[in-house]
Structure 1
């Protein structure tokens, strides 16, 4: 069961200009199985766009899963929660993606799928206020 468990760590440290740091730490844990792929990602970011501007620190996480059935059906479940500036603790961006797809039976080396999904985002306590975004989309994939 733990054979499909993986951990990943990424660090990026550079600068926009001299003495204006940009740092990223991203950690994730993923699980891969024939009927389920899932993961959890964590982000910690620090940006200082210029030496005359203050440094901003942001944090966030994402959790996702793609369960699938042996009959060709697959779901996409994802939730993101980001705080772009931790000094304003109530300022958050939340995103929810829910989808269902069907993988058609293989025709030789060709894979074909259709996916219908909902993508909703909310922006809490931003100035100026940002409206919620809601999208529904139909995606097609043909791979050969």
Structure 2
């Protein structure tokens, strides 16, 4: 996973040995690093041009492992370009969802939804992600 410039002499020799035995691995490795040029651009027009060049390399590689990318990039091109050009991310939301899922696994046995909800609010308020203005007591049945 390292960039080839960061490899030690021993790692580089092992990599070249692997490439000697598998030309497909060599092509996949080169495609991976060719994609890094796409990530260097910030303007939509440059990214679109770079992605199209990279996709032509993928098509020419004839690697079945990469062929599904052609369909994915054609179906989701606007969304992929937006992800590369816009500063927005759903990382915070995904982090909150993950935290809730972990808490849910750890809290197996909490039978009252309101206690579970309060625990989620408490964890987020403690981290500064949410504020709890009042303690919510469970409703009695």
Q: Greater helix share, 1 or 2? A: 2
TM surpasses 0.5:
no
Bigger radius of gyration: 2
TM-score, normalised via structure 2 length: 0.25
TM-score, normalised via structure 1 length: 0.25
